[in-house]
Chains A and B, each alone.
Chain A
Amino acid sequence: MAASEGSTSWSTPEVHKHHEQQTVCHTRPKYREGRRPKAVKVYTINLESRFLLVQGVPAIGVMTELVQLFALYGAIEEYRVLDEYPAEQFTEVYLLKFQKLQSAKVAKRNLDERSFFGGLLHVCYAPEYESMEDTRQKIQDRRRFVTRALQNKAKDCDRTVEKSKMVPMAEVAVCEEEESRDIAEEPDNLTTDYLFGFPLLLPPPQEEFYQPSSFPESTSAAFRGHQGNIRPAEDRMGSTYHSADNCNPPTPTEPQQPPFCINTPMVSKQRKDSRPTARFIPRTTHLQNRKRKVEEAGQDSLLGIEDKSETLIGPKLPEQPKMDMEDESLNITANLIRSTMAKISAVPEHKPAVQKTTKPKPRRRI
């Protein structure tokens, strides 16, 4: 049977009905109106795909920029320009294949109708480029996701029953408004919100005492990824990876852990900041945040707070009290990081004076 369709389908562009932008519906009564104007259309898993078709790209040699823009939402496996695809004058049509369906969904939601070098992008799913295996996989994944989500919901139900009395009135009113604006929203919108906004994504309590210890943000983010019940969004992991990658390798005179000199208010702030990383954050924002945090930490240390805390938790201090992550693999990872940290901090031991003077200086990032 037709098994190797994937390769051949890359060479047969064809205009499909679902590529066309449908006319927006303006006749909905207010209470059924969504947040964004939408056509009357039903989304099913069959329509979705990790293949995206991008129309309306100005033909001015901006392929790199386009791919970079889309790569913000997740790893792209393959891309190419569809020369044979009927395009408007002076525009090009691109086909992008994401590694994950989830990335394609978020990218489509965020980049459709976005202006790009003077053109207006039209992004749509292109499931006809899928191979049979792609199709099978996406349906199985979807079924698994629904099952898991409903299981989680059942668990969550018990919890919300307990808490429901504690929700303030104002908040309920806000939610209500939110909800009514949700109507007719694309379902992918709903699901991703659901996936990302799900309470179980919050770090389990044991992290509470773990995180404020002396690891850089990226490692703790990775830890959270391991601990979460729901697999983390790959774009988040991707961005974590990149940001870690982009850091200059820690040098002896430049210890890279701002959290070393933070006191408790800072910690709580950092926790609040880091929660949204469960959702997608472009790498640049991520880096900016980190830069800001480093600067804040630097200011704190100028105020003399650093001296106080440094005597408590400096990199040179003997091993922290042993911490049990209650999971063997987490313990192994923690030990690995601990030993790496020890290695890094072992070098500056010879010249602690130099280290102190350079510390408040905020690190430059590219």
Chain B
Amino acid sequence: MMSGKSKFNGSDRFEYLQALVTEFQDTDSAEAREQILANLANFAYDPRNMEDLRRLQVTELFLDMLTEESENLVEFGIGGLCNLSMDRACRDQILQSDGAVSLVTGCLSSRREETVLSAITTLMNLTAASSRQLTAGGPVLQCMLRFSLSRSARLRNLACVFLEDCCSPAQVDAARRELQGHTQTALGIPLPED
């Protein structure tokens, strides 16, 4: 079984993933869309699929989902980005897409913890020297400072790791001063439920 798998022909895998993407784009069923998106996001966890998913521009598909109304679609989309961005090549592809970072930072204001967590990890992965201004800028740092006081241990931990690993102490101090002053941003504060 194992050996069969490792010998598995890569082009079949590619075709299967391609079929999933096609069905996702063609189907009208909201349920099917959710299922396929979850499938793709889970496939993005496996390094074997990352190259194929990149070729299929699934990063664009995931980014697209971040603008959806459905909270499920947003959660799965950012989950897929979180998985894919672990790979450098995929990270670069995400960064090349226009407005990608602001879409991801937008997820920080989600009411769902899972979505916020995926967004933080994605931002960590996206933080490269060239993109630091965007992914770890003032508003994001302020948001992380707020998260670092959260009641949720997962959110608190992840935000603290972000503050320690993705920016300098001086930047954190600056963000903290801004947070106390009047230049606060609302990033990361979810809108009240209607």
Residues of A whose CB lies within 8 Å of any CB of B are 1-3, 5, 9, 17-18, 25, 27-29, 32, 40-47, 127-132, 134-136, 139, 142-143, 145-147, 149-150, 153, 156-157, 160, 163-164, 167, 171-172, 174-176, 178-180, 183-188, 190-191, 193-194, 196-199, 279
Contact = CB atoms under 8 A, between A and B. Distances in A.
- Secondary structure at the B interface, as helix, strand, loop or mixed, is helix
Contacts of B9: 164, 167, 172, 175
Closest 4 CB pairs of A and B: A187-B45, A42-B79, A197-B2, A149-B47
Contacts of A184: 35, 38-39, 42
A273 B35 CA distance: 40
A17 B114 CA distance: 10
B35 A40 contact: yes
Interface stretch (B102-110, B150-158, B183-191): B150-158
B2 A179 contact: no
Nearest to B41: A42
- Secondary structure at the A interface, as helix, strand, loop or mixed, is helix
Interface stretch (B93-101, B129-137, B159-167): B159-167
A42 B42 contact: yes
Contacts of B41: 42
B117 A46 contact: yes
B22 interface: no
Given A135-B161, A167-B7, A174-B4, A190 B46 contact: yes
15 contacts: A3-B160, A25-B35, A27-B31, A40-B38, A40-B72, A43-B79, A46-B82, A130-B154, A139-B124, A150-B89, A175-B8, A175-B9, A179-B8, A184-B38, A190-B43
Q: Which of B51, B79, B86, B124 has the most CB of A within 10 A?
A: B86
A197 B97 CA distance: 35
B5 A153 contact: no
B42 A279 contact: no
Contacts of A25: 35
Interface residues of B, number: 61
Contacts of B178: none
Interface of B: 1-10, 12-13, 16, 20, 31-32, 34-36, 38-39, 41-43, 45-48, 50-51, 72, 75-76, 79-80, 82-83, 86-89, 113-114, 117-118, 121, 124-125, 148-149, 152-154, 156-158, 160-161, 163-165
A44 B82 contact: yes
Contact of A46 (B43, B118, B156, B160): B118
Contacts of B42: 42-43, 184-187, 190
Contacts of A42: 38, 41-42, 75-76, 79-80, 83
Given A5-B157, A42-B41, A47 B46 contact: no
Contacts of B50: 146, 150
Contact of B6 (A139, A176, A186, A198): A198
Nearest to A188: B45
Nearest to B90: A146
A136 B162 CA distance: 9
A128 B150 CA distance: 12
